[in-house]
């Protein structure tokens, strides 16, 4: 009989590994499909920068304060994401922004949500080393996301937004790495 050992890795360590693999500059093409036939599909092109943050980074210490966590170094790590977006086919101004993600106890903490500037938390899971899923709930809405790394040069994302138990929007993304970090 041959003995073998199983190495168990925490969800937090797997999420940090996923962030490290995502670090760099990405060109994002996405569409938001509303499930209301009277509302047109939105197309957006963005440049997204992902930077990995160490546990004791000033951004994560600030995030812990925003979430009123007792420990200033509450997170095992995280990431800082910035974006510059242009909406195509619509008369809408380009947008820029940033968000901070912190990982702790099976949750992903953010300084802001998709549809709010208030701090939010999401439950996350790692289906496999390439796929991160998130579930975020606030203001009566649920955001279910799947982010998948495809090799080293591509990511896909899908977001389903629901309100009162009814799906209202689907976002689909194809992201291409601009640099080879």
Distances (CA, A) of 22 to 4, 60, 131: 32, 18, 11
Q: What are phi and psi of 77, to 5 degrees?
A: 160, -170
pLDDT > 60? residue 6 = no
Rg (CA), the chain: 17
As a whole number of angstroms, the distance between CA 116 and CA 141 comes to 11
Q: Vertex 16, ends 14 and 18: CA angle to 5°?
A: 70
CATH of the domain at 27: 2.40.128.20
The total number of structural domains in the chain stands at: 1
Distances (CA, A) of 121 to 12, 36, 62, 114, 156: 14, 28, 15, 11, 22
pTM: 0.86
Instruction: Tell me the average pLDDT across 150-172.
Output: 95
pLDDT > 90? residue 178 = yes
Question: Are 50 and 22 contacting, i.e. CB atoms less than 8 angstroms apart?
Answer: yes
Residue 92: Cβ within 10 Å count: 12
Domain holding 82, by residue range, is 11-177
Range name among 83-92, 133-142, 157-166 with the lowest pLDDT average: 83-92
Instruction: Tell me the average pLDDT across 167-175.
Output: 95
Is the residue at 169 inside a domain? yes
pLDDT, position 181: 47
> Over the stretch 73-125, which tens digit does the pLDDT of each residue have?
889 999 999 999 988 876 667 788 999 999 999 999 999 987 888 999 999 99
Is the residue at 130 inside a domain? yes
Is the residue at 117 inside a domain? yes
As a whole number of angstroms, the distance between CA 123 and CA 137 comes to 9
Instruction: Tell me the average pLDDT across 54-70.
Output: 94
Question: Are 163 and 35 contacting, i.e. CB atoms less than 8 angstroms apart?
Answer: no
As a whole number of angstroms, the distance between CA 48 and CA 131 comes to 18
Per the rule left: phi > 0, alpha: psi between -120 and 50, beta: everything else, 161 is beta
Is the residue at 101 inside a domain? yes
Helices vs. strands in the chain: H and E counts, helices first: 2, 10
90 vs 148, residue with greater confidence: 148
Is the residue at 5 inside a domain? no
Is the residue at 1 inside a domain? no
Q: What is the DSSP letter of 76?
A: S
7 vs 129, residue with greater confidence: 129
pLDDT, position 63: 96
């Amino acid at each position: 009989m041959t003995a073998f050992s199983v190495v168990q890795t925490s969800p937090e360590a797997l999420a940090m590994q996923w962030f490290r693999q995502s670090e760099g500059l990405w060109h994002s093409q996405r569409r938001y499909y509303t499930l209301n036939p009277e509302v047109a599909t939105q197309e957006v092109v963005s440049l997204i920068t992902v930077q990995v943050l160490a546990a004791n980074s000033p951004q994560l210490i600030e995030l812990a304060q925003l979430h009123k966590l007792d420990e200033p170094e509450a997170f095992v790590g995280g990431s800082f994401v910035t974006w510059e977006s242009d909406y195509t086919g619509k008369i809408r101004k380009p947008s820029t922004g940033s968000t901070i993600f912190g990982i702790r106890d099976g949750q992903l903490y953010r300084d802001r949500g998709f549809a709010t500037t208030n701090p939010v938390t999401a439950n996350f899971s790692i289906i496999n080393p390439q796929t991160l899923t998130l579930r975020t709930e606030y203001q009566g809405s649920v955001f279910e996301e799947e982010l998948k790394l495809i090799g080293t040069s591509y990511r896909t994302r899908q977001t389903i937004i629901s309100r009162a138990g009814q799906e209202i929007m689907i976002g689909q993304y194809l992201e291409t790495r601009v640099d080879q970090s």
